[in-house]
A and B are shown apart, each in its own frame.
Chain A
Amino acid sequence: MTTFVPPPTKTDRPPARPLALAGAKKWRRRFPLLPALIFTIIVTQLPFVATLVISAFQWNILQPGDRHFTGLSNYAFVFSDVRLRSAVLNTVVLTASVVILSVLIGLALALLLDRRFLGRGLARTLLTAPFLVMPVAGALLWKHALYNPDYGLFNGILNAVYRFFGADNGPSVDWVSNLPMPALVIALVWQWTPFMMLILLAGLQAQPGDVLEAARVDGASALQTFTHITLPHLRRYIELGIVLGSIFVVQTFDAVFTITQGGPGSRTTNLPYEIYLTTFRKFEYGQAAAAGVVVVIGSIVIATLALRTVASLFREEEVSR
């Protein structure tokens, strides 16, 4: 939706011929690239320009006569609005907890699956399932089949355990109302852990076998091997998982829409959901657009860091070619 090309990296392959390519030849090379480039610019950059323009207007479609230029006042609103500030905070909390927890659990699972055991292939397949279930379906499943206070599986199991030990009935916990944010985080961690596990497992499997063998021969303990060889090797993969995970989890809309509707109150309203509410419930187009611009700027900051990570992976690949 906007452009922020990082400074040219030193990855350009040395030109095949020392002479500069002739103009016609240059264009012949560029030609296959153009359709994709033009399509991307139209579909992703144009809406952003439109957002910028709309953000400078006082514009509520419920008051059609009252549409006028207001300069930066929508931005003043965005930065002073309590709801939006809490949405920013909720987004940070939600994204950070989901990414950190799924990386940690994903790492543990990847370390287990990096070894041979009975049914390893099947376990790997079953573990990817949560990521492949349609996100909306997964969210509905957690809300109704697992968290539901009356007939959800969690309370059902609690109840069964209580009865097994002779009590009358288990507690009837309303998970989503009492613990809205943890309920959301757990459902999302369930969905994203397989993603992290797959990336980290690929990283573990790409470890040079002879270095591990040498470490073993030299009498390194398992812990030493892990902290001195495996972790440094995995660093790039962990970074990649965090970067990609953050990009996707920051945008979480399905789960908030389905499980908590941002509530109770606005305790789980993240930025995407708040912008959705501003647009389609309050019809404050100008404010929604300004919030959108702020989100984009925030994303640019995160993305600049992220691109650096990806660029380093990219460089490594080029060097090894």
Chain B
Amino acid sequence: MTAQATAPAASGTVVRRVLRRRRHDDPGQDPRLSPLWTFVAWLATLAFFAPVAWMVLTSFHQEADAATNPPSPLAPFTLDQYTLLLERDITPYLINSGMASVFSTLLVLVLAVPAAYALSIKPVEKWTDVMFFFLSTKFLPLIAALLPVYMIVKDAGMLDNIWTLVILYTGMNLPIAVWMMRSFLAEVPKEILEAAEVDGAGLPTVLLRVVAPVAMPGLAATSLICFIFSWNEFMFAVNLTATKASTAPVFLVGFITNEGLFLARLCAAATLVSLPVLIAGFAAQDKLVRGLSLGAVK
């Protein structure tokens, strides 16, 4: 609900849009939940959140307190697990994850933004077909690509290389980014674009003054989604990396074996690797919905 309100359009659609958005703008208008249902809502919320809470709680316990039956949630707290993890070898994995996610997200944006421009503001002919081509690549299971990708990467001597992951994650996220950026750029008011052109504004001015203000929230939402999907990716990471380029999820499945009591440290590691996405997702909840639905739900 940014540009739409100001976008002039045929009067009928304006009315429709205003009606459709009314509740969205003012959640205070929503009817209240009765106390009984409030209780049910909170019970369900806590049930869903309980595993996360248990993970965080366990991560602050000693191993001996973490693996008791019945559970001992009130055992003394300690930061030992986190110190151990950071002292040992989680850091390079986190750096690898960060590099793969950040670089692939940047590459996605560099490719997706001009493409979205050519699909919305100055659309090429048959632009809907192009959109559906991008989407169709997303429907195809990654697993079917694993074998050929593995063989190509092996022949090119690019196994266990962070840039291999960057390229694959870019391919994986590019269709999502094109769809999302198009949905944001499509909100740039056509009339203002045309007026600017009639007034003789050059392309840089139009991009900076008219397109950028609308595109910025879109860039943020797109980056968030691409970052989440790259950060969490496991299948390519576990099959294409060995020691140098392994990412955080590979570390997680690797350190369990033969460690004896490990539950508290596992929970600490799981908390640590989930933290960047949890923070980003909590901070940008509204953008999350639009991103997950490829821009279809606003």
List the interface of chain A (C-beta within 8 A of B): 1-6, 8-9, 11-13, 21, 26, 29-33, 35-37, 39-40, 43-48, 50-51, 54, 108-109, 112-119, 123-138, 140-142, 144-146, 150-151, 153, 155-157, 159-160, 163, 190, 193-195, 198-199, 201-203, 205-210, 237, 240, 244, 247, 250-251, 253-254, 257-258, 271-272, 275-276, 279-280, 285, 288-289, 292-293, 295-296, 299-300, 302-303, 306-307, 310-311, 313-314, 317, 320-321
A150 contacts B69, CB within 8 Å?
yes
**Which of A50, A145, A202 is close to B151, meaning CB atoms less than 8 Å apart?**
A50
In the complex, identify which listed stretch (B84-92, B139-147, B215-223) lies at the interface while the others stay far away. Answer: B139-147
**Which of A46, A206, A303, A317 is close to B24, meaning CB atoms less than 8 Å apart?**
A206
A116 contacts B31, CB within 8 Å?
yes
- Residues in A neighbouring B42, C-beta threshold 8 A: 119, 123
B297 contacts A237, CB within 8 Å?
yes
A127 to chain B, nearest CB (A): 5
B170 contacts A141, CB within 8 Å?
no
Q: When A5-B132, A134-B277, A137-B274 are in contact, do A13 and B285 touch as well, CB less than 8 Å?
A: no
1/0 contact string of B260-298 vs chain A (CB within 8 Å): 000100110111011001100110010011001110111
CA distance A30 to B123 in the complex (A): 8
- Residues in A neighbouring B281, C-beta threshold 8 A: 128, 131-132
Q: Does B111 contact A (CB under 8 A)?
A: yes
- Residues in B neighbouring A307, C-beta threshold 8 A: 132, 135-136, 139
Q: Does B79 contact A (CB under 8 A)?
A: no
Residues of B within 8 A of A (CB-CB), count: 119
Q: When A141-B270, A145-B58, A276-B146 are in contact, do A313 and B296 touch as well, CB less than 8 Å?
A: yes
In the complex, besides A36-B115, A48-B145, A206-B23, 9 extra interface pairs with C-beta distance below 8 angstroms are A13-B123, A54-B148, A130-B52, A134-B249, A145-B55, A208-B20, A251-B142, A275-B144, A288-B147
- Residues in B neighbouring A117, C-beta threshold 8 A: 32-33, 37-38, 41
A47 contacts B152, CB within 8 Å?
yes
B114 contacts A35, CB within 8 Å?
yes
Which chain A residue lies CB-closest to B117? A32
- What are 9 pairs between A and B in contact, CB < 8 Å? A37-B133, A40-B175, A50-B148, A133-B277, A134-B249, A135-B234, A145-B55, A153-B54, A210-B19
- Residues in B neighbouring A35, C-beta threshold 8 A: 110-111, 114-115
Q: When A5-B133, A43-B168, A50-B151 are in contact, do A128 and B285 touch as well, CB less than 8 Å?
A: yes
A202 contacts B48, CB within 8 Å?
no
A37 contacts B130, CB within 8 Å?
yes
A229 to chain B, nearest CB (A): 13
Q: When A141-B55, A206-B21, A295-B144 are in contact, do A306 and B139 touch as well, CB less than 8 Å?
A: yes
A7 to chain B, nearest CB (A): 9
1/0 contact string of B27-68 vs chain A (CB within 8 Å): 111111100011011101110110110110010000000111
- Residues in B neighbouring A118, C-beta threshold 8 A: 38
- Residues in B neighbouring A3, C-beta threshold 8 A: 133, 136
Q: Which of B22, B145, B151, B288 has the most CB of A within 10 A?
A: B145
B153 to chain A, nearest CB (A): 10
- Residues in B neighbouring A306, C-beta threshold 8 A: 139
List the interface of chain B (C-beta within 8 A of A): 9, 13, 16-17, 19-24, 27-33, 37-38, 40-42, 44-46, 48-49, 51-52, 54-55, 58, 66-71, 110-112, 114-115, 117-119, 122-152, 167-168, 170-171, 174-175, 178, 183, 186, 228, 231-232, 234-235, 238-239, 248-249, 252-253, 256, 263, 266-267, 269-271, 273-274, 277-278, 281-282, 285, 288-289, 292-294, 296-298
CA distance A135 to B230 in the complex (A): 12
CA distance A190 to B48 in the complex (A): 7
Q: Which of B131, B144, B289 has the most CB of A within 10 A?
A: B144
- Residues in A neighbouring B152, C-beta threshold 8 A: 46-47, 50
CA distance A4 to B139 in the complex (A): 10
Total A-B contacts with CB atoms under 8 angstroms apart: 367
**Which of A39, A54, A156, A160 is close to B170, meaning CB atoms less than 8 Å apart?**
A39
A1 contacts B249, CB within 8 Å?
no
CA distance A296 to B290 in the complex (A): 27
Q: When A39-B170, A47-B149, A198-B289 are in contact, do A292 and B144 touch as well, CB less than 8 Å?
A: yes
CA distance A195 to B143 in the complex (A): 23
CA distance A262 to B84 in the complex (A): 32
B296 contacts A129, CB within 8 Å?
no
**Which of A32, A109, A293, A321 is close to B118, meaning CB atoms less than 8 Å apart?**
A32
A155 contacts B69, CB within 8 Å?
yes
A30 contacts B124, CB within 8 Å?
yes
CA distance A150 to B69 in the complex (A): 7
Q: Which of A144, A271, A317 has the most CB of B within 10 A?
A: A144
CA distance A159 to B69 in the complex (A): 7
CA distance A113 to B274 in the complex (A): 25
